[in-house]
Structure 1
Amino acid sequence: MSVVTERHGTIMTIGINRPEARNAVNSETASQLVESFTAFDKDASLTAAVLYGVGGNFCAGYDLKELAYNTASIKLEQDVTKGPGPMGPSRMQFSKPVIAAVSGYAVAGGLELSLLADLRVVEQSAVFGVFCRRFGVPLIDGGTVRLPKLIGLSRALDLILTGRSISAQEAYEFGIANRVVPDGQALHHAIELARKISSFPQRCMNLDRASAYYSTFDARSFTEAMQYETENSIQVLMEESVPGARRFNSGEGRSGKL
């Protein structure tokens, strides 16, 4: 299998398993990634997913060997609402958090896959970059959509136009990396982070998450974004907010403790 999954309680890990190709994604891998993420999003018993690469690299992008000799492998559905992207799940939107555990190379389509996650835990020696620039391969898995929203247009264009590599530290300074951890520890730290956010009242957290995405990508105005946030918030006031307030009143979480 070119994608391996495992449950850790309510956390699912999804691993790209082509270490011999630095986890470059071919059509088979893309299909398996879509299946794995679809299963995760539909499973109500799962609270978060962690995407990683097996064998020391996150993902080196689309498999250019397959592209070079089998152009039929990238039959692209041009309507983004009707089919997956070349890298697989890049056009998907999830109802619960996804964390990327990044080691080694996360370049070209691999960078794009890391951007579909809510958070990125990155090892010190990791490398990001739009390496496909040098081969005339476009960003077609959300790179020109998510990256400018995440780090701003100026910094995004610095990567998109030059194709240069950036280190974990620069990725952190840009806002791509949320955590930088020692080499060999990204997956462990990502799972622990997933467990932490899974310990919170889930409906409230996921509605706030949905509201943040809506205001960033879909809302046409400040007022529309505020209206969406208000309607989302009302849904959980009795279900989670009132019980939470009672727990606080009884002494839980005082002095800023979570």
Structure 2
Amino acid sequence: MSHVRFDVDEGICTITMDRPEVRNAVDGPMAAELHEAFLRFGEDDTLAVAVLTGAGGTFCAGADLSAVGDPERRNQLDPDGLGSGPMGPSRMEIGKPVIAAVSGHAVAGGLELALLADLRVVEEDAIFGVFCRRWGVPLIDGGTVRLPRIVGQGRALDMILTGRPVGAHEALQMGLANRVVPVGESLAVAHHIAEQIAAFPAECMKVDRASAYRQWDLPLDAALRSEGANGVPMVRSEGADGAQRFADGEGRHGTF
């Protein structure tokens, strides 16, 4: 039985974690399904944006700890930190935008899956947290890497060390959430944002997105050179086309 749904509509795929009876906790087989879903998204040139969400009013409660003692269901643990992460796609480099539509709890490994996304649309009842702190389970799906990059070292360490719950509005204040919406509306709002992104010239957007991530590994001067080297071809292709459309009158007076 599949616990991950993959739905496609006009260039946008929705990846749904579908184990609501355990708050979408991820065991080994489900992690493999999530990994395969993101591979499929990355390899399909007709898909521009992915939306990651959870069924049943919860995003994801993390890894399914009941599977730890079951060799058929336990999550993958590579002692060298190689391979796919225990939650599935968490160590992938995804080349296209991902939006997380978060309702209910996004905690422990579920928080780490939300951090995988570029943007997080969060319902008012959402709770983030490193709840695995209380069980002695470490963050090994990107949490210690992505969380400080998104919210800053101090705020990240507050969450990582205390394991305290962080509500939607605090998440918005610290930059963990990009939008806070009423309960039940995160998926619709995420799809609306995805449609806006998908309507833009795709290659230019992907180059800018890649540059924003790549700069973390580079000194300032090298990051600026990389931005220019990757951006110039876009100016000559999609940028030239866009400039011509503007010159022809498109986009005047705030219309697009």
1:253 CA displacement: 1.6
1:71 CA displacement: 6.3
1:79 CA displacement: 4.2
Aligned to 1:64: 65
Residues 76 and 85 in structure 2, CA contact (< 8 A), matched pair in contact too: no
Query: Given the alignment, which residue of 221, 241, 245 partners 2:239?
Result: 241
Greater Cα shift, 122-131 or 243-252: 243-252
**Counterpart amino acid of residue 28 in structure 2:** S
Aligned to 1:97: 97
Aligned to 2:198: 198
SS of the aligned residue for 1:55 comes to coil
State the TM-score, normalized to the length of structure 2.
0.96
Aligned to 1:37: 38
SS of the aligned residue for 2:139 comes to coil
Query: In structure 1, what is the Cα distance between the partners aligned to 2:113 and 2:101?
Result: 11
**Counterpart amino acid of residue 134 in structure 1:** R
Query: In structure 2, what is the Cα distance between the partners aligned to 1:143 and 1:123?
Result: 21
Aligned to 2:51: 50
**Cα distance 1:249–1:158, how it changes in 2: closer, same or farther (>3 A)?**
same
Query: In structure 2, what is the Cα distance between the partners aligned to 1:58 and 1:184?
Result: 12
1:246 CA displacement: 1.1
Aligned to 2:134: 134
Query: In structure 2, what is the Cα distance between the partners aligned to 1:147 and 1:234?
Result: 31
**Counterpart amino acid of residue 168 in structure 1:** A
Aligned to 2:207: 207
**Counterpart amino acid of residue 39 in structure 1:** R
1:49 CA displacement: 0.3
SS of the aligned residue for 1:95 comes to coil
Query: Given the alignment, which residue of 212, 220, 226 partners 2:224?
Result: 226
Spell out, residue by residue over 1:55-106, the C-alpha distance to the aligned partner (whole angstroms, 9 max, x if none): 1000000001112x326723412444x5111000000111110000000000
Which runs of at least 4 in structure 1 moved beyond 4 Å after TM superposition? none
1:257 CA displacement: 3.8
SS of the aligned residue for 2:90 comes to helix
Query: In structure 2, what is the Cα distance between the partners aligned to 1:60 and 1:145?
Result: 20
Query: In structure 1, what is the Cα distance between the partners aligned to 2:255 and 2:166?
Result: 36
Query: In structure 2, what is the Cα distance between the partners aligned to 1:78 and 1:247?
Result: 53
Give the total of aligned pairs: 254
Spell out, residue by residue over 1:108-163, the C-alpha distance to the aligned partner (whole angstroms, 9 max, x if none): 00000000000000001000000000000000100000000110000001100000
Residues 54 and 102 in structure 2, CA contact (< 8 A), matched pair in contact too: yes
**Counterpart amino acid of residue 171 in structure 1:** A
1:255 CA displacement: 3.4
Residues 112 and 141 in structure 2, CA contact (< 8 A), matched pair in contact too: yes
Aligned to 1:188: 188
Query: In structure 2, what is the Cα distance between the partners aligned to 1:179 and 1:78?
Result: 37
Aligned to 2:4: 3
1:153-164 alignment to 2 at 5 Å?
Answer: 153-164=153-164
Aligned to 2:88: 88
Query: In structure 1, what is the Cα distance between the partners aligned to 2:71 and 2:221?
Result: 46
SS of the aligned residue for 1:91 comes to coil
Q: Percent sequence identity over matched residues?
A: 54
State the TM-score, normalized to the length of structure 1.
0.95
Aligned to 2:22: 21
